């Protein structure tokens, strides 16, 4: 039964003969139970609880019909939020933390729900709707590929720390180097290369601890878009602001994910139920700031003599900007259509404008400004 069929049924049975837009809560509850709706029992209980929550004994069936349609569909609309808001306080079920008899995987799903989502209704929606297939493959695959590439170059160069100082390192076809700007794939593939074991370990840890839960909740498409947007913005920003420097590491994508998640936690501080959130926020900011400080130190005060400039730190900052803008828009739109939101189009327009500017900059600015870039390896 779709939205139009349910509306037609209400009219045919003359449940609202005067077309007031309201019907009795008990009437609507009986209607839902007497007709087949492709809903999970937990979602059906939630729908009935919302119908019974009105103090006057009447509900606006238009909003509840929208809620039924949203529950059946894969994405929710703005009417879902309005319907939820009308009955959120009267939901009779306890919170997910009180759910007994859960298996290991369902407990992990519950943990992810409380780590990522700020609203109890959203957490419950995700918990009952979540399916293990497809698994969060994007962040796991990227992390595995980065580890494999690092191990291959570590074995080949016989160097596991500060690999960028090895003369053969910059000859990799994956590294972004300003002398190889015409090889456009390098603006993305540099994310598979890392300075050393310490940078790889930091990025891999954050990708698995933050990226995988975000992918479980928001889906592979949105999180991969956010991560790759941060990576691309990182290399393009370096090509504009630090024109002589190469770039390695996936920090642009990592900082996009982390900044988006931290900004979402701050903006929904009261609703977030993750334990020790203030302590974890402080630790995350300290670790991220330390990594940026380390990158600045390696860029301007390298501990070893090198043949050219060391990788830039601007990719970290560009990723953070992408996370606070595009990423925050994505994370605040859980199970809602992004194309229906004006803010999403504003963010896309801003990002697209930046891409066009960066492309023209890389084509013309180096020659016009007479930039002295180190010879490509």
How does DSSP assign 350-361, residue by residue?
HHHHHHHHHHHI
Q: What is the b/e burial string over 237-256, where b = at least 16 CB atoms within 10 angstroms of the residue's CB?
A: bbbeebbebbbbbbbbbbbb
224 is a catalytic site residue: no
Q: Which long-range contacts (CB under 8 A, 24 or more apart) does 328-331 make?
A: 328/260, 328/263, 328/264, 328/267, 330/218, 330/222, 330/223, 330/225, 330/226, 330/260, 331/116, 331/214, 331/218, 331/260, 331/261, 331/264
Helix (H, G, I), strand (E, B) or coil at 83: helix
Q: DSSP code of 340?
A: G
Q: Is there a contact between 251 and 294 (Cβ–Cβ < 8 Å)?
A: no
- The Cα-based distances of 328 to 57, 259, 343 in angstroms read 38, 8, 11
Q: Which of 177, 218, 261, 316 does the annotation list as catalytic?
A: 316
Return the CA Rg of the chain: 25
Q: Which of 251, 259, 325, 333 does the annotation list as catalytic?
A: 251
130 is a catalytic site residue: no
Q: Give helix then strand counts, H and E, for the chain.
A: 18, 2
Q: DSSP code of 16?
A: S
Dist. CA 146–CA 250, nearest whole Å? 9
Supply the residues annotated as catalytic: 251, 316
């Amino acid at each position: 039964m779709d939205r139009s069929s349910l509306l037609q049924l209400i009219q045919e049975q003359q449940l609202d003969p005067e077309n007031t837009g309201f019907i009795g809560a008990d009437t609507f509850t009986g209607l839902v139970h007497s007709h087949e709706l492709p809903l999970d029992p937990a979602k059906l209980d939630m729908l009935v609880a919302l119908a019974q929550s009105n103090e006057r004994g009447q509900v606006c069936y238009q909003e509840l019909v929208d809620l039924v349609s949203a529950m059946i569909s894969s994405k929710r609309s703005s009417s879902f939020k309005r319907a939820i808001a009308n009955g959120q306080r009267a939901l009779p079920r306890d919170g997910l933390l009180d759910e007994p008899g859960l298996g290991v995987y369902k407990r992990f799903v519950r943990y992810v729900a409380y780590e990522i989502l700020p609203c109890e209704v959203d957490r419950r929606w995700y918990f009952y709707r979540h399916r293990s297939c497809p698994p969060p493959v994007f962040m796991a695959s990227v992390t595995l590929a980065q580890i494999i590439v690092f191990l291959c170059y570590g074995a080949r160069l016989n160097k596991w720390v500060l690999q960028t100082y090895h003369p053969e390192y910059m000859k990799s076809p994956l590294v972004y180097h300003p002398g190889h700007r015409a090889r456009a794939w390098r603006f993305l593939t540099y994310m598979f290369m890392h300075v050393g074991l310490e940078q790889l370990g930091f990025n891999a840890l954050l990708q698995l601890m933050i990226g995988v839960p975000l992918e479980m909740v928001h889906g592979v498409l949105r999180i991969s878009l956010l991560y790759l947007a941060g990576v691309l913005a990182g290399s393009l920003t370096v090509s504009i602001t630090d024109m002589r420097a190469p770039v390695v590491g996936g920090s642009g994508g990592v900082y996009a994910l982390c900044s988006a998640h931290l900004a979402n936690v701050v903006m929904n501080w009261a609703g977030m139920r993750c334990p020790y959130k203030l302590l974890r926020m402080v630790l995350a900011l300290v670790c991220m700031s330390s990594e940026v400080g380390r990158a600045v130190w390696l860029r301007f005060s390298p501990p070893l003599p090198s043949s050219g400039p060391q990788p830039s730190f601007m990719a970290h900052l560009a990723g953070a900007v992408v996370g606070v803008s595009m990423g925050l828009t994505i994370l605040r739109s859980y199970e809602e259509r992004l194309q229906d939101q004006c803010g999403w189009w504003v963010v896309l327009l801003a990002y697209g404008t930046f891409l066009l500017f960066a492309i023209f900059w890389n084509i013309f600015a180096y020659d016009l400004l007479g930039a002295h870039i180190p010879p490509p390896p």
